[in-house]
Chain A
């Protein structure tokens, strides 16, 4: 499959701080590519350089055959963009916002009206098309912004945290629509700090931290890492030592207040061992739960792996 986005040694320096530090990657035509990382990782700065609104300190970005720095208008003409926290014009109606977008993309008036109405129906906003956006909920606004990004039949859609802070229903609808538009051939580049979202939507994921890309692979890779660093949190009625909990398969035990956090790949075997130990030592288990690793845990794991190969 041909590359539709090519990023070469991209760097952005803000007064001596490397927000993005020498990243290189490609996105294939028709794929959903996710940039996953915690807040402050450099995702939004990266996406802003890709869409041509921030000048890189170093490096080049190519979208299709166009150099973003040299031909920003041609590049923007074929992309749809949903910036993080972006808003529509709240004093205009939903329909007027879409028509304004159509005008900014040079779409013929008649075609623009047809497209706007079709998108309003798809995004379940048609009934409220004449209402001012300031009366909309956050979910409705985000749907409208996504609809605005699709006005120009974009070949590539850039979505910066598209479901951040949304209610469950809007999140579900937006995810469904992202999948649908991808099925129709639109390449999607999205940033997220949500592992589940990356897993659900993306064909490939780049993990970013402190301005650097740590790994690029299919979401399956993430799942494997998650399994490796899953842990169990347990509390016993009577006090005991960390050494008592090193059963078969246990890699590490940390005492945290009156609880113990036990790390190991085979979590089910460890739980059975804990129950057996509790019966044998007549020390009742007060609480027991599986701890899913945080994104930070995965980053730490990957960063350590990168630094100490």
Chain B
């Protein structure tokens, strides 16, 4: 009952985040355009089959959109002095973090559904499968949890956190089989196993090309474990840094 009440309050934070940070033309356009442009710049003149492009694009779009805003919400609200009011409310820290995560998950799924729709309608790629839908939802929670973990240092300047976010996010793109399949990565393959994006890209590749490193449900399970770990680390770090935020 107490948890249910906290979940309701968490959803109030989700609604607040969506209306303040996400449902803005500029954010939606950025969410759609940035992954698209980055991807196009890498595949340009590379003569890749369309069904090997879409998994990478899907993975990158989900990763970028879901983890774009979550890292900056806490530092921004610390700076704007709304975070102090929020933690003074009868809610736990996990309630706030979960609210932030769900908002970015909803936003990410909205953006990714456009890419899936474009893949199906314009390119005729067969995308939709149960493992992919389930995996996309779990991966969205996973990438968003990574975003909240990045926001844990007690900074009140969103630009500081954006720098940390870029230092973490961009290298992950290159080691996760987004542009080059993991099987063709040589020695770097070991690194790819430390990135949750690897498992989502692998899952998407399986859904479209029928080839993958791991089975779809193993990929989903690993993504789920990553989600739990990232959420817990994020919660612990946020608790530790709370004193230093004020």
Residues of chain A touching chain B, judged by Cβ–Cβ distance below 8 Å, are 48, 51, 53-55, 72-74, 76-77, 81, 83, 85-92, 96, 100-101, 103-106, 145, 148
Contacts and interface: CB of A to CB of B under 8 A. Distances in A.
Contact of A106 (B9, B19, B86, B87): B9
B16 interface: yes
Given A81-B88, A104-B89, A55 B9 contact: no
B8 A103 contact: yes
A55 B245 CA distance: 13
Interface string B209-246: 00000000000000000000000000000000011001
> Size class of B's contact patch?
20 to 34
B16 A77 contact: no
B90 A105 contact: yes
A73 B90 CA distance: 5
Interface in B50-91: 80-82, 84-91
A58 to B, nearest CB: 14
B118 interface: no
B82 A89 contact: yes
B81 A85 contact: yes
Given A76-B89, A103-B12, A54 B246 contact: yes
A77 B90 contact: yes
10 contacts: A54-B242, A77-B90, A81-B85, A86-B84, A86-B85, A87-B80, A100-B12, A104-B12, A106-B5, A148-B85
Interface in B1-44: 5, 8-9, 12-13, 15-16, 19-20
B177 to A, nearest CB: 38
Q: Closest 4 CB pairs between A and B? A: A103-B12, A76-B90, A104-B89, A81-B88
B158 to A, nearest CB: 15
B92 interface: yes
Given A53-B84, A90-B80, 14 more contacts: A53-B242, A73-B90, A73-B91, A73-B92, A76-B90, A86-B82, A89-B16, A89-B82, A92-B19, A96-B19, A100-B15, A100-B16, A104-B86, A104-B90
Nearest to A96: B19
B103 to A, nearest CB: 13
B16 to A, nearest CB: 6
A27 B89 CA distance: 22
B88 A76 contact: yes
Main secondary structure of the interface of B (DSSP, over half): helix
Nearest to A99: B12
Nearest to B21: A91
Contacts of B84: 53, 83, 86
Contacts of A88: 82, 85
Contacts of B13: 104
A202 to B, nearest CB: 22
A83 B246 CA distance: 11
Contact of B88 (A51, A55, A87, A90): A51
Contacts of A54: 242-243, 246
Nearest to B96: A104
Interface string B136-169: 0000000000000000000000000000000000
Contacts of B246: 48, 53-54
Contacts of B16: 89, 92, 100
B152 to A, nearest CB: 17
A55 B242 CA distance: 9
A76 B6 CA distance: 13
A101 B80 contact: no
B89 A101 contact: yes
Contacts of A55: 243
A172 B117 CA distance: 59
A101 B9 CA distance: 10
Contacts of B81: 83, 85-87
B243 to A, nearest CB: 6
A83 B90 contact: no
Interface centre among A74, A104, A106, A148 (most CB of B within 10 A): A104
A74 B92 CA distance: 11
A53 B88 contact: yes
Contacts of B242: 53-54
A103 B9 contact: yes
A105 B88 CA distance: 11
Given A53-B242, A54-B243, A89-B20, A83 B12 contact: no
Contacts of A90: 80
Contacts of B5: 106
Nearest to A87: B81
Contacts of B12: 100, 103-104
Contacts of A145: 85
A51 B86 CA distance: 12
A31 to B, nearest CB: 22
Given A73-B90, A83-B88, A92-B16, A104 B9 contact: yes
A77 B6 CA distance: 12
A83 B242 CA distance: 15
B18 to A, nearest CB: 12
